[in-house]
Amino acid sequence: CRPRAAVRLSSLAVLAAAVLLAGPCLRSQCCRSLRTAAVPAKGVFAGRLLLRPRCRAAPSLHVRRVGERAFGDAVEYPAPRGGVEWKKLGFSLATKETRMVVAICSAGQMWGSMSAEPYGALSLEPAATILNYGQGIFEGIKAYRTSKGRIVLFRPQKNAQRMADGARRLLMPPVPAQFFLEAVSLAVRENADLVPPVGEGALYLRPLLFGSGADLGVKPSSQYTFVIFVSPVGKYFGPGTTGARMQICTDHQRAAPAGVGNIKCVGNYAQCFSAQRDAKADGYSDVIYLDVGGQYIDEAAASNFFCVTPDNVIHTPQLGTILPGVTRDSVVQLVRRLSDSDLKLKVGPVSYATALSATEAFLTGTGAGITPIEHISSGEESADFACPGPVTQMLSDMLTDIQSERAPDTMRWLHDPFVEPSYGRDSFMEPTF
């Protein structure tokens, strides 16, 4: 047996290290199996992964990974906080009694450490790049409590990829995927008692990345801040809502070709406020934007658009000027796997006429989930839809069953922030539509 070695390794290197450093012992009769051990977590999670060859005569190999439990260890997930009326939650900042994750990076440097601290004000100078030139992006992720008693994040690797794409577009240092996953996992562990009971909502995570350096002149910032704050949320359009009433917006567009409509840029959303205010004053839930030619559906103010036509074709606009939504991609992947169904998927231009002639329609987004549309109007023409329609209900059930672990997670979309390593597992090589 080799002498004891203490090394910090990535999870993918654990097995290789065990074989290299303890190979001779593993071939002996007394060392044919490995066992794991960990320091029990109390309060903020801080576990160890210790792999020891079972050899009485040999020193042990210790592989330590900070922030992870040992494989096979029982996990005690914090129960939901008492005294909260979870079913009355809408989509808003429900409480400030939370903890946020913060990291800072100077231009040209690497992302280093992160910290968890009480939710509160950030210090910014008036010359901060985000305040003057809007150099900032954000993300939205949900953590769910499942029917198996676990707490899981839904496809956070996709959000890590999208935030990195947006950072590169705005010349900000991308947050590495592993760093991003460690940060969102830490945010969940720090606020685990705010994850609602299964089926009664989710813990919404809002990662922010922005230029926080004090600079003057149209140029990238000298410093960047990465922040994640959280809030428990319910239905996007408010508790008790069954469907959305949507108004077609014809007096301005959300995004232009070759612009920044395909990233979650802060400037993409403030411009929607006036159109949303006017639509809500007329009794609508939100607006649907058309392309620059005024012919085809783009997306809603904060969600992607789908409709189902009488010939059983599910239509959704192609990527380009619209946001590559994680929920949108999930629906596309689910439909593509319905091999025993007569449903077909068409990703491409969706005309206004196609939307009005559909039998059902729905919105998708991290905040919205899958929300059925009950009415669409342009002022001159309108259409009513089944709410929810059978296809919308089926897809919604399929998605929520995976998120709540009532159905097998065959595509490995769920990430347990208490147990699993922080390297990404969700495939970034899936085709995008």
Asked if pLDDT for residue 45 goes beyond 50, the answer is no
Peptide bond into 40 cis (omega under 30): no
Angle value at C-alpha 67, between 65 and 69, nearest 5 degrees: 80
Strand, helix or coil at 127? coil
Q: How large is the angle between the packed helices 326-336 and 390-403, nearest 10 degrees?
A: 110
Which pLDDT belongs to residue 421? Answer: 65
Is the model's pLDDT at 339 over the cut of 60? Answer: yes
pLDDT band at 7 (very low <50, low <70, confident <90, very high): very low
pLDDT classification of 74: cutoffs 50, 70, 90: confident
Residue range 196-217, pLDDT digits in tens = 999 999 999 999 999 999 999 9
13 versus 399: the higher-pLDDT residue is 399
What's this model's pTM, rounded to 2 decimal places? Answer: 0.81
Distance (Å, rounded) from C-alpha 46 to C-alpha 220?
36
Residues 269, 400: Cα–Cα separation, whole Å:
27
Give the integer Cα–Cα distance in Å for 182 and 417. 8
- Among 42, 219, 264, 280, the one annotated catalytic: 264
Confidence of residue 422 (pLDDT cuts 50, 70, 90): low
Radius of gyration of the chain (CA): 24
In the chain, pLDDT over 90 holds for what percent of residues? 73
**Proportion of the chain above pLDDT 70, given as a percent:** 80
Q: In terms of Cα–Cα distance, which of 288, 356, 330 is closest to 433?
A: 330
Cα distance between residue 220 and residue 223, in whole Å: 9
User: 380 burial class (0-12, 13-18, 19+ CB within 10 angstroms)?
Assistant: exposed
**Is pLDDT above 60 for 59?**
no
How does pLDDT run across 367-397, given as a tens digit for each residue? 999 999 999 998 789 999 999 999 999 999 9
The three-class DSSP label of residue 168 is helix
Based on the residue annotation, tell me whether 87 is a catalytic residue of this protein. Answer: no
Higher pLDDT, 429 or 181: 181
Q: How far apart are CA 87 and CA 228, in angstroms?
A: 24
Q: Of 307, 364, 319, which Cα lies nearest the Cα of 162? A: 319
At 254 the pLDDT is 87
**pLDDT class of 51 with cuts at 50, 70, 90:** very low
The neighbour count for residue 79, using CB atoms within 10 Å, is 12
